[in-house]
Amino acid sequence: MTTRRAFFHQSTFCLAGFGAGCVLAADEEAKPTLRIGLMTDLHYAEKDPTKTRFYREALAKLDEAVDFLNQEKPAAVVELGDLIDQAPTVEEELEWLKTMEQHYARLLMPRHYVLGNHCVATLTKAEFAAHTGAAFSGYSSFEQNGIRFILLDACFREDGTAYGRKNAHWQDCHIPGQELLWLKDELMRATGPVIILAHQRLDLDAAHAVKNAAEVRAILEKSKKVLAVFQGHSHKNDLQTIGGIPYCTLVAMIEGTGLENNGYTMLDILPDSSLRLHGFRRQMHRSFKAPTA
C-alpha cells in the first residue's frame, strides 16, 4: 500500500521532472544537522486570474505544502514574502491576510515571515505583523542547531521611507543604513554558519534586485559565515554565485493553475555545512558544497 509520505515524494518529483521520488529518499543516507521548509510568493487574493497568476488557488497550494511539511517535520518553516497580493482597501487586504494566516498557522512547527512588497503595499508593516507572527521590526533572526537564519526587509524606498498605503514602486526597494548596521551585528555575533532569507533579490538581476544589493553582498562576503542566500520575488527558479555565496531564487507558488504548478522546498544543512535543496512540484532540486576556508 502506498504511504502518504511516498505519495508526496513520487507526485512532486515526477511532476517537477525529477523522476519517481528517489532524490529525497536517496539523500537521506546523509543525515542533516537541520531541516527547514521554504516557500514563497503565494499572492493570495479573492480575485480572478490574470495571465499566469491564479490568486484564489494559493489556498489549496498552501494547504498541500503545509500537509507535507507537517508530515516531514522540519525544525521551522519560512515564507519568503508576498503571502498576499495587493488589495484595493485596507479592510479587504486584512481579510485576505487573516484567511492566509489561518491556513499557514496549521503548521505544527515555528513559522516565520519575510516581508514582500505586496504584503505591505496597502497595509503598513505594523498591521501585517499584528495579524501574523511576523516581526514588528520587519527584519529578524532566529537560531536553530547552531545555524543563524537572518530575515531581511527590503521594503523601503531609497529615501528610507517604509512601504505602506501604496506609497512605493516595487522597483524602488532598498535596505536602509539602520538595517545594515543590524545585519553586521547579527553576522558578528553568529558563532556558526548563517543562512540569509530575503524577498527581493540580492544578486545581479536588473529588474528584481535590491538597489543597494552590492553593498549588502559586500557585508555578507566579509563575514565569511554565509552559506547561501534564498530569495523570491521574480517568480522563477534561478541561481547565481557571487563572491563564493550562492544566491538561490525559489519558484513562486502563484504561477500556473492546479497543484501540479505548486512549488515548495525542504532545505537540509549537513554536518559539513553543505546544503541540499529538495524541490517539490516546480521547485528545482539543488546541492551546494560546503564553503572553503
In the prediction, which pLDDT does 5 show? 44
Q: Convert the pLDDT of each residue in 83-101 to its tens digit.
A: 999 999 999 999 999 999 9
The pLDDT of residue 16 is above 60: no
Of the two residues 28 and 83, the one the predictor is more confident about is 83
In the prediction, which pLDDT does 6 show? 38
φ, ψ for residue 71, nearest 5 deg: -75, -40
Question: What percentage of the chain exceeds 70 in pLDDT?
Answer: 89
In the prediction, which pLDDT does 19 show? 29
What is the C-alpha separation between 57 and 114, in angstroms, rounded? 21
Q: Which of 64, 100, 61, 60 is nearest to 83 (CA)?
A: 100
**Would the pTM count as exceeding 0.85?**
yes
| Average pLDDT rounded to a whole number, residues 96-121 | 97
Determine contact, residues 230/3, Cβ cutoff 8 Å: no
| Average pLDDT rounded to a whole number, residues 263-283 | 96
Q: Convert the pLDDT of each residue in 35-61 to its tens digit.
A: 999 999 999 999 999 999 999 999 999
In the prediction, which pLDDT does 135 show? 83
Of the two residues 206 and 15, the one the predictor is more confident about is 206
What is the C-alpha separation between 244 and 246, in angstroms, rounded? 7
In the prediction, which pLDDT does 1 show? 33
The pLDDT of residue 17 is above 60: no
In the prediction, which pLDDT does 293 show? 61
In the prediction, which pLDDT does 26 show? 41
In the prediction, which pLDDT does 29 show? 63
The pLDDT of residue 291 is above 60: yes
φ, ψ for residue 218, nearest 5 deg: -60, -40
Find the length of the chain: 293
Q: What is the overall mean pLDDT for the chain?
A: 90
Q: Which of 116, 92, 133 is nearest to 42 (CA)?
A: 116
Q: Which of 249, 217, 215, 219 is nearest to 235 (CA)?
A: 249
Domain assignments of the chain as residue spans, ordered by start: 4-287
Query: Which H or E run contains 70?
Result: helix 58-72
What CATH architecture is 4-287?
A: 4-Layer Sandwich (3.60)
Q: Convert the pLDDT of each residue in 216-258 to its tens digit.
A: 999 999 999 999 999 999 999 999 999 999 999 999 999 999 9
What is the C-alpha separation between 213 and 229, in angstroms, rounded? 12
Q: How confident is the model at residue 175 (pLDDT cuts 50, 70, 90)?
A: very high
